Amino acid sequence: MARVSDLILDSKLGANFLPDCTVHTFQESDPNSRQRLVTRTEHWRRQRKIGGGGFGTVWLETCTRGSRTGPAAVRAVKQIDLDSRLGKIDYNRELEAIAKFSHARYKRCFVKSFGWYEGPSQLFIAMEYLEIGDLFTYLHQTPPLPETEAKDIAYQILDGLGMMHQNSFAHRDLKPQNILIKSHSPHERWIKLADFGITKRIEEGRGQSTTIKGTPRYFAPEVWGFVKRDTAYATDIWALGEIIFEILTKRPTFANLGSLAGYKRPEQFPINLLTDANVSREGIDFVISLMHPDPKDRITAVSALSDIWINSLVAGSSSAFTERQKNKPQFSQSPSVAESTEDFASWNTRYSSDEERTAVITPPSSIPQDAIEATQKPTANPSPAKLKEQFEMARTLCENDQFQEAETMFRQIHAMQEKVLGQYHLNTLGSLYWIGQCLYRQQRYDDGEAVARQVLQKTEKARGPKSLPMVEALSLLGRCLYFQRRYNETESLYRRAHSEIEKEFGPDHEETPILLAWIGKALYHQYLFSEAETLFRQAVQRGKKILDSGDPLNLDTPFFLGQSVYRQRRYKEAETIFGQIMLRLQDVLGPDHEETLDNMQWLGKSLYHQRRYGEADIIFQETLERQERVLGKDHEKTCQTRNLAEKAHRKVMGLAEGRP
C-alpha cells in the first residue's frame, strides 16, 4: 500500500489473526490504577456477513474478550481484497476520508470508524454497527414517503455532503445503499452517510478523472459524457436529487439512458411523476435545482441548505430534529471580527491589585524579542510590579495579533503568579483567562474550552457567581463551544451570563447587548429563528443607536437580525434591514469588503423572494462583479452568487426557474 499520512497512521490498529478471531493490542494509560502505560487486548469474533459492495464484504463482529460491553462490543468490519480484479484502488484516499469524518464533530452525519488494520492480502476497516440497515432496504419495504419525511432525509444528506465538500472531499457513490439508518421512528429518523470505498480527495487544480465510478442508476449526465464535466461535487448533488425523486415516487427520474441523454433543459424535467405524488411546487423546484442538466448550474450543498423547501422543515420540526441540528454549520467556523473581539471589561482592561479599574495602556506597535524571552526564564519570586509589567507586555502581543507568542508569555506569567499570588488571586485567574483567549484566537477551541472551564471553576470559588470575571469566564467558554457548533450549550452559558449581569448590574449594563446577541446566534443555529429575532431586536435596541454607529462590529447583530427575519419569509422587512446595513458597511468597510458583499447577496435574495427580479438581478450582478475581483471566480461565495444572478436573470427574461 502507498505511503499514508499521519492522520491515517494514528487510526491504525495492531492486529493478530487467530483461527477463530482477530486480536487487537493497545497501549494506553490507566488513570484508575495510576499506571502510565498498560497493555490491553481485545478479541473480536466474526458472526455473519451483513453486506457487500464492489470492493469488499462487510461482516458483523462481537468482542468476546476485553473491556467492551453492550453496544460497544459490536462492530461492522469492511474487508477489502488488496488484489481485487477491479484494479488498483487508492486506499489512502478512503482511509483519509474515514479518519477525517470519524472525528466527534462529524458524528451526526457519518458512520464512525474505530480504526483500520491489514491482513496478508486484505484491508479491514472497523465501523460502528447500525442494526436497522440502509435506506435502500427501508424504501424497498415501504410505499413512497410523505414529502415532510423526504425533506428531513434530504436535509440530513445535505448536512453531510456540505461537510465533505467544504473539506474538499466528494462521495462519488451516493445511493440509498450507502445511507444507513440509526433510528427511524416517524418523527425521529436519523441517517448517516457510509461507505467511503470510492470517495476521493479533490485536489484543487487537478484535472477531472475520466474513470466512471459508482452506481449507474445515480450517475449524472456528465458522468455518461452527455454534457461537459464540472466538479465531482456536482455529481453528488445530482445523486441526491435522484434519491429524493425515488423516495417521493418509487420511480427513477429517467426510465432509460436515452431519456437522460435527451435532457438538456430544466423545462424537460419529468415533473409529472412528482405532481402525481402531490409534491409541492417548492419541492419540485428543489429537486430540479439538484438535477439541472448542466453541472455548473446545479445548486451547491451549502446553497441547498438555505433553500425555501428545506427551511420550511423548521416550522414543523420535532425536538429530535432540533437536537440533531444544534451543531449544524452555516457560517464560517473561524471567529468573525465581531465575534473574536467582543471582550469584557475587567480582565480585558486591567491588571488588578484588587482595585476596581486602572487606566488602559496604549500598546506600542511591537515588543522586543528579548523582552519576550525574559519572561520565559525562571526568576525567583518576581515582584508584583514586575508581573504587572510582563502581563501588560503579553496583552500588547494580543493587541498585535501575536497570539501564539502571547500564549507562551501568559503561561510563564501564570506559573509565576501562582507562586507569588496564589492560584485564586484575581490576577492569577486573569492570566489563565488570557491563555484561554489566546487559544480561542488561534482557533484551538477544544484547548480553549478546557482552560475556560478551569477559569470558570476557580473564579466561582474565589469571587462568587455574581462578578464580572465570572461573566467573562462564561462568555469565553460559550465562544469556544459556539465554534465547536455546540449551540445548545452555548445558549445555556450565555443565558446564565446575562442573568448574572442583569441581577448584579441591572438591564442597562454595557455588556447586555453583546450577551443578548450571542444568545440569539445560538438560537439561530438551532433553527429557532423567531426566538433569535426577539433576542437580536433586544440587542439592537439596547445597543444605543446600533444601526447608526460607525463601528462595523455593531453591525454584526443587525445582520443576524436580517437573516432571522428572512428565514421566516418576511422578505420585505429583511430587505429594509439589509439595505440599512449595506449603506453603513460601504461607508465603514468599503464597497468591496467581504462582509459588505455578503450583505449585498442577502439583500438580493430578499428582493428575489418578493418577485422583484429586475432589482435582484442588478444587486446580484454587482455583487458578482466585486466577488470575482476580490475573492476570485472559483470561490464558493462567488459561485453561489453567479447561480443566483443567472436565476434572477432568467426570471427577468420570462423563464421559469426555482428559488435561490
Nearest Cα neighbor of 421 from 503, 321, 353, 521 is 353
More confident residue, 181 or 166: 181
Q: Are residues 110 and 165 in the same domain?
A: no
Using the 3D structure, point to which of 485, 509, 538 is the last residue of a domain: 485
pLDDT of 321 > 90? The answer is: no
Domain count, the chain: 4
Q: Are residues 360 and 415 in the same domain?
A: yes
pLDDT of 322 > 50? The answer is: no
**pLDDT recorded at residue 320:** 39
Q: Are residues 236 and 270 in the same domain?
A: yes
Confidence of residue 544 (pLDDT cuts 50, 70, 90): low
Rounded distance between C-alpha atoms, residue 319 and residue 444, angstroms:
31
CATH number for 31:
3.30.200.20
Per the structure block, which three cell numbers stand in for 331? 457560517
CATH number for 476:
1.25.40.10
Least confident segment among 277-281, 345-349, 488-492? 345-349
Least confident segment among 24-33, 299-308, 378-387, 607-616? 378-387
Q: Are residues 355 and 303 in the same domain?
A: no
pLDDT of 510 > 80? The answer is: yes
Confidence of residue 386 (pLDDT cuts 50, 70, 90): confident
Q: Answer whether residue 492 is part of any domain.
A: no
Longest Cα–Cα distance of the chain, Å, equals 84
CATH number for 271:
1.10.510.10
**pLDDT recorded at residue 276:** 94
Least confident segment among 28-42, 402-416, 570-584? 28-42
Q: How many residues in the chain? A: 660
Q: Answer whether residue 315 is part of any domain.
A: yes
**pLDDT recorded at residue 49:** 92
Q: Are residues 367 and 458 in the same domain?
A: yes
**pLDDT recorded at residue 120:** 83
DSSP 144: P
Measured CA angle at 235 (ends 129, 598), to 5 deg? 100
pLDDT of 408 > 50? The answer is: yes
Rounded distance between C-alpha atoms, residue 533 and residue 563, angstroms:
9
**pLDDT recorded at residue 9:** 84
Least confident segment among 101-110, 365-374, 457-466? 365-374
Query: Which amino acid appears at position 178 of this protein?
Result: N
Q: Are residues 604 and 616 in the same domain?
A: yes
Rounded distance between C-alpha atoms, residue 216 and residue 223, angstroms:
9
pLDDT of 5 > 80? The answer is: no
State the average pLDDT over residues 310-334: 46
**pLDDT recorded at residue 609:** 94
For a pLDDT cut of 90, what percent of the chain falls above it?
46
Q: Are residues 366 and 315 in the same domain?
A: no
Rounded distance between C-alpha atoms, residue 552 and residue 556, angstroms:
7
| Average pLDDT over the chain, rounded to an integer | 81
**pLDDT recorded at residue 302:** 83
Nearest Cα neighbor of 236 from 291, 314, 307 is 291
Q: Are residues 611 and 655 in the same domain?
A: yes
SS3 state of residue 422: coil
**pLDDT recorded at residue 338:** 30
Using the 3D structure, point to which of 325, 352, 382 is the last residue of a domain: 325
**pLDDT recorded at residue 655:** 57
Q: Answer whether residue 554 is part of any domain.
A: no
The neighbour count for residue 59, using CB atoms within 10 Å, is 19
pLDDT tens-digit readout, 621-635: 999 999 999 999 999
Least confident segment among 7-16, 212-221, 411-420, 598-607? 212-221
**pLDDT recorded at residue 286:** 95
**pLDDT recorded at residue 98:** 85
Rounded distance between C-alpha atoms, residue 648 and residue 637, angstroms:
16
Q: Answer whether residue 506 is part of any domain.
A: no
Using the 3D structure, point to which of 433, 455, 485 is the last residue of a domain: 485
State the average pLDDT over residues 560-589: 91
Residue 189 structural domain: 135-325
Q: Answer whether residue 509 is part of any domain.
A: no
Q: Answer whether residue 564 is part of any domain.
A: no
Q: Are residues 197 and 149 in the same domain?
A: yes
Confidence of residue 303 (pLDDT cuts 50, 70, 90): confident
Q: Are residues 638 and 590 in the same domain?
A: yes
**pLDDT recorded at residue 319:** 39
State the average pLDDT over residues 76-94: 69
pLDDT of 95 > 70? The answer is: yes
The model's pTM is 0.49
Confidence of residue 642 (pLDDT cuts 50, 70, 90): very high
In angstroms, what CA-CA distances link 144 with 150, 239, 275? 9, 18, 13
Rounded distance between C-alpha atoms, residue 460 and residue 615, angstroms:
55
Rounded distance between C-alpha atoms, residue 57 and residue 285, angstroms:
38
Q: Are residues 334 and 380 in the same domain?
A: yes
pLDDT of 535 > 80? The answer is: yes
Q: Are residues 351 and 473 in the same domain?
A: yes
Q: Answer whether residue 508 is part of any domain.
A: no
The helix, strand and coil proportions of the chain, stated in percent and rounded to the nearest 5, come to 55, 10, 35
Q: Answer whether residue 478 is part of any domain.
A: yes
**pLDDT recorded at residue 440:** 94
pLDDT tens-digit readout, 206-227: 334 444 545 678 999 999 999 9
Nearest Cα neighbor of 199 from 304, 299, 110 is 110
pLDDT tens-digit readout, 241-271: 999 999 999 999 998 888 999 999 999 999 9
**pLDDT recorded at residue 238:** 97
**pLDDT recorded at residue 140:** 87
